[in-house]
Amino acid sequence: AVGFAESRPVRELMASANQIDRELQEEAEEKNELNTVFNRKANPHAPAQSDGALQSSFGSVNLFKLNIPSPILVFEGVGVTNSAPPDTEGAVGPNDYVQIVNGGGVRIFDKNGVPRGPAFKLSTLFAPLGGVAASNDNGDGLVLYDRMANRRILSQFAFTSTSTPPYHQPITVSKTGDPTGAYWAYDFITPGNEFPDYGKIGAWPDGYYFTDRQFTLGGPFSGFGVFAFDR
């Protein structure tokens, strides 16, 4: 890591973020033009169409049975507009569910779907690091619950331009199992001129494993990147 810091407790950030839901609704947008589509409106006068790829049966009724239970719980998540797509991520732990969407919007819910506070921007956790990590909510946010350590991991990339390295992948790890507490914050720079698009992360006993889709200077696709972070 090129930078390390300790964040304020999230409960303090939420206490000072009472307007953040409205701001996220008004300001959030997908900043990664490599993963953006237009928000198109349906034509209400268009004729009905059939989806040829839609599976409408399971073949022989003697071989397959539809046995999918209904959702146990449904609730409204982080509110975001003008994100295309929102790239929603979430992770559930023993007592909480943490969700993140493009634009840096993070919200913590209890397991009944009740918010534990207002939404806040992930960049506020990186504020002590300074630089682009503290000022940009470029998107492609990640949230992971590490069951082995009872910790929360949140991350998103940060950059000034998709064609201008260095590209940052700041990561926070909660100090305790409480997602509303304080976090350790690390600022990593991914190597070379490969833009680290659409990263994903997972936990293993010896490390946090991270993959991304790489574009040279934000241009032509150049393959996939694989990284391991020491736990």
Whether the pLDDT of residue 18 is over 80: the answer is no
> What pLDDT does 21 receive?
46
> What pLDDT does 224 receive?
96
- CA proximity to 72, closest of 98, 44, 92, 58: 92
Give yes or no for a contact between 159 and 168, defined as CB atoms under 8 angstroms apart. Answer: yes
Q: How far apart are CA 199 and CA 210, in angstroms?
A: 7
What DSSP line would sit under 98-121, residue for residue? EEEETTTEEEEEETTS-BSS--EE
Q: How far apart are CA 109 and CA 116, in angstroms?
A: 5
What DSSP line would sit under 148-211, residue for residue? TTTEEEEE--B-SBTTBS-EE--EEEESSS-TTS-EEEEE-EESTTEEEEEEEEEEETTEEEEE
> What pLDDT does 75 receive?
92
Give the model confidence (pLDDT) of 25-76 as tens digits: 445 444 555 555 545 567 888 888 888 887 776 665 556 666 788 889 999 9
Percent of the chain with pLDDT over 90: 65
Whether the pLDDT of residue 78 is over 60: the answer is yes
Q: Which residues contact 161 (CB under 8 A, 6 or more apart)?
A: 218
Residue type, 224: F
∠ CA 203-208-212, rounded to 5° = 105
Q: Which residues contact 28 (CB under 8 A, 6 or more apart)?
A: 80, 81, 82, 83, 101, 102, 103, 104, 105, 137
Percent of the chain with pLDDT over 70: 83
Give yes or no for a contact between 220 and 42, defined as CB atoms under 8 angstroms apart. Answer: no
Kindly state the average pLDDT of the residues 87-113. Answer: 94
The pLDDT mean for the chain works out to: 87
Kindly state the average pLDDT of the residues 128-143. Answer: 94
pTM beyond cutoff 0.85: no
Whether the pLDDT of residue 130 is over 70: the answer is yes
Q: How far apart are CA 214 and CA 192, in angstroms?
A: 11
Give the model confidence (pLDDT) of 145-193 as tens digits: 999 999 999 999 999 999 999 999 999 999 999 999 999 999 999 999 9
Q: Which residue did the predictor score with more confidence, 17 or 208?
A: 208
